[in-house]
């Protein structure tokens, strides 16, 4: 399957890997925003996950411990955000931006001794039978555990949000916080947990960059993936499967343009490099022109149970 | 003797600076519709929040049946058989009917089963409701149905209704009352909070009256006049607005052939509206809301522009003028929606005064706001119209509905407009404040102004207006001298037919 000198099997396989960090962060942020909270600290939680995951994976030589610690680190950092915004009622936008800066600075500091080291990588899990299917097998069913995990996570979040009571309560809290409170739901507690979930998945997403995609540690290596994740949530109209679609679109164009650069097409490198962002923006604008937007009604509004 | 369902004994609750409830005791019997009456801020809502478990009393006790009752959260109250329909509906626009109902239940069945149950129950009570419809697309009456069905599905012993009719059309109110009477027939009790005395006299068996957090009396509403109940609520006798017979002067406002296509999907277009108001005259425009009332107000206030000569003041065409230009020549309007239309919710009273002030009064030559002047004006509004607020820097949204309405009306009337247009002047306002607002409208007219009052409340229109017409489906009837109209005439007008046998009173 080679089209214009690009192997389609490798392309799809690579785009799934390339999209996974953004996908993980975005699905977590979608849950956070569904609960009515805007956490702009995704980039900071991702980079923290990346460095903590790298450190633990290198020291234990077991990548999976790295991912677990990255999830914990991301969640802990998000607890800081949760306490500030949910209890001390600080402004969500400013606090989220601060969180990103804290994450970037902190990771640079603690990651210094680990620069230039190679991390252990995850082994591929060939899914029995399915991975033997020609073309589709190597394309989709021959990845490491985190890629499968991210897709299963999207499916789980989609199911929980639309089909279960927990999901219904989560949407209710994000949609109309006063009404949810009047019915006796614990708005702050539910949001706190949602924020921690978002922190954990952002941490895992970050660790996937430093443990699978690159696999090494460099300062600032998330390179805006957190911001892309935030944009994707909006582009996807807060719908989990659309988040997956958006992440794969972004990841796909990233891989494609690298391939195009490699085979030397006559398009300036600068334009190719900016194309993933450009296409994502164009699609985003297109959706906002034609689709209808349904942001959670209480998004980014502070809540205090004073009434 | 009916058995006692809920007994309140010496309930007190304080907030910093206010004693919201002070030693309140009363009882609700099974199968009784019990009214809880009081002015805005009398402590009704706080009291029911304690019954529903949203707040806990500082002292006092409650008994449900024979057991002590002190719910620590709403779910405990629901388990004990208490359900509540909120004043500002506790609904979620982006969720569908079934999901909304599931959120208010303790152990909801699967959505599939729940949807079927909703259809059965809603049909059997004559409140049809599609379980898959998005709540955001429902009318106010339908939204209230969602809340009522949510309560009914839990088979409550006591249903609390907080000002249920304030957002309903007269027809919806009728349906609601039928439902309530049916529930009463099934032996359920209803605690009915309202300040609409006529409604309470119509359906309630017993009334408890609160004032400043204290229980000040009780009565059987059917045997007590509205005036007596009203006086108990306010604590003093308040007089009905007094009207002097006024001689009308020359024609001040003239609207001819006004037609507007509405831009709002849910709106009503106006077609060929003609009327005139003379100096000293109050024209009442009746009819059910949603028949072009908002559109008419927008056309008169200048939010919607028309061809210049459609609207004239003293023969000067003003149809193309913007709201501030109309204010400059003395035409002012107060729309129905207080928060968000008449006043900016998050801005202070001072800033809200500034919004509709003449710019010469409040801005100096350098374009800088003269806040001292604005503050003075705000102070006048607050003192003359008895607006109860802690400070002038309070946000408009922090005022109760009645107080904010007094502020909005006061803000416009103190500018002494020559033409004043007001939509639903006393919507959701307690009796004393309503009387005050009506009196100030009458006073304005006596001072050589022309007033247009758009209202659903026919009693109100008959109390203060000189001429009367009806807006139905975007068309307006001729205006008639209000004293020449029988109730049968009004019915005909409301039904959209004109009274040709009567002469147009301006003729």
- A 10 A CB-CB count for A125 gives 14
In a domain, A300, yes or no: no
* Enclosing domain of residue A46: 2-290
Assess contact for B454 and B422: CB atoms under 8 A.
yes
Q: Does A297 touch chain B (CB under 8 A)?
A: yes
- Asked, for residue A134, whether it belongs to a domain, the answer is yes
Tally of domains in chain A = 1
**Residue whose tokens read 């609390």:** B160
A176 touches chain B (CB under 8 A): yes
The pLDDT confidence band at residue B237, using thresholds 50, 70 and 90, is low
- Superfamily classification of domain B251-494: P-loop containing nucleotide triphosphate hydrolases (3.40.50.300)
Output b/e per residue, B394-417; b: 16+ Cβ within 10 A: ebbeebbbbbbbbbbbbbbbbbeb
Residue whose entry in the numeric block shows the structure tokens 């009622």: A89
Put the strands of the sheet holding B270-278 in their side by side order.
B270-278, B251-260, B311-313, B316-317
Helices and strands of chain A, counted as H and E runs: 12, 4
> Residue A242: inside a domain, yes or no?
yes
Q: Within a domain: residue A85?
A: yes
CATH of the domain at A222: 1.10.3470
In a domain, A124, yes or no: yes
Beta bridge partners of A143: A125
The answer to whether B438 and B464 are in contact (CB under 8 A) is yes
| Mean pLDDT (whole number) for B381-399 | 87
Residue of B nearest to A296 (CA): B94
Hey, what are B373's tokens? 């002047």
> Tens of pLDDT along B396-413?
888 877 788 999 999 999
Q: Does residue A96 form part of some domain?
A: yes
Which residue in the set B53, B78, B99 is minimally distant from A168, CB to CB? B99
Tell which residue, B332, B259, B323, has the closest CA to residue B292: B259
A67 within some domain: yes
Q: What are the chain A neighbours of B88 within 8 Å (beta carbons)?
A: 178
**Mode of pairing for the β-strands spanning B251-260 and B270-278:** antiparallel
Residue A117 belongs to some domain of the structure: yes
User: A307 falls in which pLDDT band (50, 70, 90)?
Assistant: very low
Most A CBs within 10 A among B18, B53, B94, B99, hence the mutation to make, goes to: B94
Q: Is B12 helix (H, G, I), strand (E, B) or coil?
A: strand
What's the distance, Cα to Cα, between the start and end of chain A in Å? 63
How far is Cα A87 from Cα A91, in angstroms, rounded to an integer? Answer: 11
Q: How far is residue B375's CA from residue B390's CA, in Å, rounded to a whole number?
A: 15
Q: Does A305 touch chain B if contact means CB atoms closer than 8 Å? A: no
- Contacts of B144 by beta carbon, 8 Å cutoff, 6+ apart: B85, B89, B164, B167, B168, B172, B176
Inter-chain CB proximity B73 and A184 less than 8 Å: yes
Window 139-168 of A, Cβ < 8 Å to B:
165, 168
pTM of the model: 0.73
Supply the mean pLDDT for chain B. 86
Q: Which residues in B lie closer than 8 A to residue A182 (C-beta atoms)?
A: 54, 74, 86, 90
This complex has an ipTM of: 0.80
> What pLDDT digit, counting tens, does each position of B270-328 carry?
989 999 999 999 999 988 777 888 899 999 999 999 999 999 998 899 999 999 899 98
A242 Cβ under 8 Å from any chain B Cβ? no
For residue B353, give every residue at least 6 positions away whose Cβ sits within 8 Å of its Cβ, in sequence order, or none: B374, B377, B378, B381, B411
- Domain range list for chain B: 4-234, 251-494
Q: What was the pLDDT predicted at B500? A: 60
**Contact residues, chain A, for B53 at CB < 8 Å:** 184
The DSSP-derived string for A234-299 is: HHTTT-HHHHHHHHHHHHHHHHHHHHHHHHT-SS-HHHHHHHHHHHHHHHHHHHHHHS-----TTT
CA distance B279 to chain A (A): 46
Q: Please answer whether residues B62 and B7 qualify as being in contact, where contact means their C-beta atoms are separated by less than 8 angstroms.
A: yes
CB contact under 8 A, A183 and B90: yes
The residues, any chain, with a CB within 8 Å of residue A290's CB and separated by 6 or more, are none
Asked if residue B236 has pLDDT above 90, the reply is no
CA-based nearest residue to B149, from B187, B167, B185, B175: B175
Q: Is B178 helix (H, G, I), strand (E, B) or coil?
A: helix
Task: Determine, for residues A179 and B89 on separate chains, whether the beta-carbon distance falls below 8 Å.
Answer: yes
Question: CA-CA distance, A204 to A74, in Å (whole number)?
Answer: 8
Nearest CA in chain A to B76: A184
- At the second CATH level, the architecture of B4-234 is 3-Layer(aba) Sandwich (3.40)
User: Do β-strands B282-286 and B467-472 pair in parallel, antiparallel, or remain unpaired?
Assistant: parallel
Asked if B176 and B3 touch (Cβ cutoff 8 Å), the reply is no
């Amino acid at each position: 399957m080679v089209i214009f000198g690009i192997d389609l099997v490798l392309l799809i396989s690579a785009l799934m890997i390339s999209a996974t960090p953004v996908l993980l962060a975005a699905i977590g942020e979608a849950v956070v925003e569904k609960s009515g909270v805007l956490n702009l600290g995704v980039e900071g939680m991702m980079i923290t996950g990346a460095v903590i995951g790298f450190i633990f994976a290198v020291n234990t030589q077991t990548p999976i411990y790295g991912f677990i610690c990255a999830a914990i680190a991301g969640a802990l950092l998000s607890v800081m955000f949760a306490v500030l915004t949910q209890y001390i009622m600080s402004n969500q936008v400013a606090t989220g931006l601060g969180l990103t800066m804290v994450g970037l600075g902190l990771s640079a500091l603690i990651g210094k001794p680990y620069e230039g080291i190679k991390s252990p990588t995850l082994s591929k899990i060939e899914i029995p039978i399915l991975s033997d299917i020609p073309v589709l097998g190597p394309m989709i069913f021959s990845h490491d555990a985190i890629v499968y995990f991210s897709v299963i996570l999207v499916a789980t979040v989609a199911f929980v949000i639309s089909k279960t009571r927990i999901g219904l309560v989560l949407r209710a809290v994000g949609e109309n916080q006063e009404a949810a409170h009047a019915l006796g739901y614990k708005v702050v507690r539910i949001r706190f947990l949602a924020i921690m979930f978002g922190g954990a998945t952002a941490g895992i997403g970050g660790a996937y960059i430093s443990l699978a995609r690159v696999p090494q540690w460099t300062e600032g290596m998330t390179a805006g993936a957190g911001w892309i994740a935030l944009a994707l949530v909006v582009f996807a109209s807060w719908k989990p499967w659309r988040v997956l679609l958006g992440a794969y679109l972004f990841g796909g164009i990233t891989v494609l343009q690298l391939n195009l650069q490699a085979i030397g097409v006559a398009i300036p490198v600068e334009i190719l490099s900016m194309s993933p962002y450009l296409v994502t923006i164009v699609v985003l604008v297109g959706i906002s022109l034609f689709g209808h937007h349904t942001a959670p009604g209480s998004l980014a509004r502070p809540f205090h149970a004073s009434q | 003797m009916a058995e006692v369902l809920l007994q309140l004994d010496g309930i007190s609750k304080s907030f910093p600076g206010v004693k919201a409830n002070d030693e309140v005791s009363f009882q609700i019997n099974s199968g009784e519709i019990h009214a809880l009456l009081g002015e805005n801020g009398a402590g009704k809502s706080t009291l029911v929040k304690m019954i529903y478990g949203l707040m806990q009393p500082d002292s006092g006790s409650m008994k449900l049946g024979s057991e002590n009752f002190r719910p620590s959260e709403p779910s405990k109250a629901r388990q004990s058989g208490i359900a509540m329909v909120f004043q500002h509906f506790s609904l979620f626009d982006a969720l569908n009917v079934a999901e909304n109902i599931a959120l208010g239940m303790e152990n909801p069945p699967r959505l599939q089963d729940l949807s079927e149950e909703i259809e059965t129950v809603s049909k059997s009570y004559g409140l049809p409701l599609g379980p898959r419809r998005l709540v955001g697309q429902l009318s106010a009456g339908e939204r209230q149905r969602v809340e009522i069905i949510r309560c009914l599905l839990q088979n409550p012993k006591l249903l609390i209704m907080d000002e249920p009719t304030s957002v309903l059309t007269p027809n919806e109110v009728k349906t609601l009352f039928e439902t309530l009477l049916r529930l009463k027939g099934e032996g359920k009790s209803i605690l009915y909070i309202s300040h609409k005395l006529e409604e309470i006299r119509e359906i309630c068996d017993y009334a408890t009256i609160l004032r400043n957090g204290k229980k000040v009396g009780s009565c059987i509403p059917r045997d007590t006049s509205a005036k007596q109940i009203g006086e108990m609520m306010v604590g003093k006798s308040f007089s009905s607005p007094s009207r002097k017979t006024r001689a009308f002067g020359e024609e001040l406002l003239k609207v001819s052939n006004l037609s507007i296509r509405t831009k709002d999907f849910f709106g009503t277009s106006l077609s060929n509206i003609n009327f005139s108001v003379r100096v000293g005259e109050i024209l009442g425009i009746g009819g059910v809301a949603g028949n072009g009332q908002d559109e008419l107000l927008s056309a008169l206030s200048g939010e919607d522009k028309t061809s210049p000569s459609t609207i004239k003041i003293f023969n000067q065409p003003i149809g193309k003028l913007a709201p501030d230009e109309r204010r400059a020549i003395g035409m002012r309007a107060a729309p129905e929606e207080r928060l968000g239309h008449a006043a900016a919710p998050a801005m202070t009273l001072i800033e809200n005064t500034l919004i509709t002030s003449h710019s010469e009064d409040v801005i100096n030559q350098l374009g800088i706001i003269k806040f001292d002047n604005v503050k003075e004006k705000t102070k006048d509004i607050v003192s003359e119209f008895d607006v109860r607020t802690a400070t002038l820097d309070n946000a408009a949204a922090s005022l109760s509905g009645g107080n904010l309405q007094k502020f909005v009306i006061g803000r416009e009337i103190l500018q002494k407009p020559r033409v004043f247009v007001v939509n639903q002047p006393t919507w959701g306002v307690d009796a004393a404040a309503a009387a005050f607002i009506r009196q100030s409208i009458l006073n304005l007219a006596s001072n050589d102004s022309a007033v247009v009052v758009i209202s659903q409340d026919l009693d109100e229109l008959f109390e203060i207006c000189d001429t009367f017409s009806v807006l139905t489906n975007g068309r307006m009837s001729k205006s008639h001298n209000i004293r020449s109209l029988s109730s049968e005439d009004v019915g005909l007008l409301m039904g959209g037919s004109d009274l040709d046998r009567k002469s147009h009173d301006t003729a």
